[in-house]
Amino acid sequence: MATLSLRHAPRPGTPAELDPLLVWPALGLLMLGLVMVYSASIATAEGSAFTGHQPGFYLVRHGIFLVIGLVLAVVAFQIPLRFWQQMAPLLFLGGVMLLVAVLVPHVGRTVNGATRWLPLGPINLQPSELMKLFAVLYAADYTVRKLGDMGSLRRGFVPMAAVMVVVGVLLLREPDFGAFVVIVAISMGILFLGGIAGRLFVGLVMVLAAAFAVLVITSPYRLERMLNFMDPWADPLGKGYQLSHALIAFGRGEWFGVGLGASVEKLFYLPEAHTDFLLAVIAEELGFAGVALVVVLFGLLVQRAFALGRQALALDRVFAALVAQGIGIWFGFQSFINMGVNMGMLPTKGLTLPLMSFGGSGIVANCIALAILFRVDYENRQLMRGVSS
């Protein structure tokens, strides 16, 4: 009865079918991000020949990508979860091929020493952002297929580990260490939620910790970042410049900020103010109150994602449950890292604030992920109505 109810359910999209506990935090983060990207980027855009000295350059581009993301989200919302499950391996393979294409000489675009983008006319595609979404879908599908083998090292863990090694090698060649950390966290989280044996999970954590230590020790620039993060004031005008100015922005903001648009740090002091360090500008202009609002909105979004996952699991929809919780892990973990970096609690990793920071590929991938989360909620509701009837 429940299956028939879902199959013949009316097309989704009416306001009654959207969970307000999911809608308002998501819209709040997207709209606040749009406002703060504009505020943080005015000086940079106005002073750059690349932007034609147009103060609204980044606002327009961010707005265009946000519209594209929302349009694609509406399309993605119409697609049943069973289709996403069927397509998960192909999407993941396509993402790997895009990561390979980035590394092909004269194909990938290099900015500040990192080759992470594919130039597509007026826009640049960043495959690592799409891979985060594909990793959620693939890890959920893999876990569902291997539910009976989650206690086996050879059948349950090794195949997934091998896939992650391939992705990791490609991401580290760019290099994009931050995206690699997020994708590993997503995959590990989904495997854990899928019931991987405790001893395998503990062993995996230990291996990853050792691998992380090796990557840091054997890479001079990563080791330098670790040391600078511990004491940015040792060289505030050199290696600790970015973090020291982020901390100054937090200090200037105090409780309620200096006022929207009144940030001083965004005036060519704080690099990447509209991307990686957007939260520092929020802290300076809106103060502790603004930062607390952002934290609360992310907390509500992540909590709701896990609640939807538990609801789907109760309805015996394991793939939907793991996808919802995987998206929650993605948004929660990446936002935690970005906030930690901005506050000086974690070393700089080059990760944006989901749903808020400037960046076309990231915003589009985030919007599609939100649409899939809404779809999980919609199908849960339809199944519950079918069961109750």
Please write the tens of the pLDDT for every residue from 40-67: 999 999 988 778 779 999 999 999 999 9
CB 46 within 8 A of CB 54: yes
Identify the helix (H) or strand (E) that includes residue 118. Answer: strand 114-120
pLDDT at residue 346 in the model: 87
pLDDT, tens digit, 9 for 90 and up, residues 187-234: 999 999 988 877 778 877 787 777 777 777 777 776 776 777 777 877
Instruction: State the virtual CA torsion across 373, 362, 347, 198 in degrees, nearest 10.
Output: 30
CB 129 within 8 A of CB 180: no
Taking the CA atoms of the chain, what radius of gyration do you get in angstroms? 21
Sequence letter at residue 153: L
CA–CA separation, 157 and 370 (whole Å): 28
Return the residue matching tokens 């900020």.
257
CB 327 within 8 A of CB 305: yes
pLDDT, tens digit, 9 for 90 and up, residues 150-178: 777 778 778 888 888 899 889 988 888 88
**Ramachandran sector of residue 365 (left: φ over 0; alpha: ψ -120 to 50; beta: rest):** alpha
Whether the link from the prior residue into 122 is cis, omega within 30° of 0, is no
CB 231 within 8 A of CB 344: no
CA–CA separation, 41 and 57 (whole Å): 8
pLDDT at residue 195 in the model: 85
For the packed helices 241-253 and 278-314, what is the interaxial angle rounded to 10 degrees? 80
Other CB atoms within 10 A of residue 4 CB: 9
CB 306 within 8 A of CB 324: yes
> Higher-confidence residue: 78 or 110?
78
> Higher-confidence residue: 96 or 212?
96
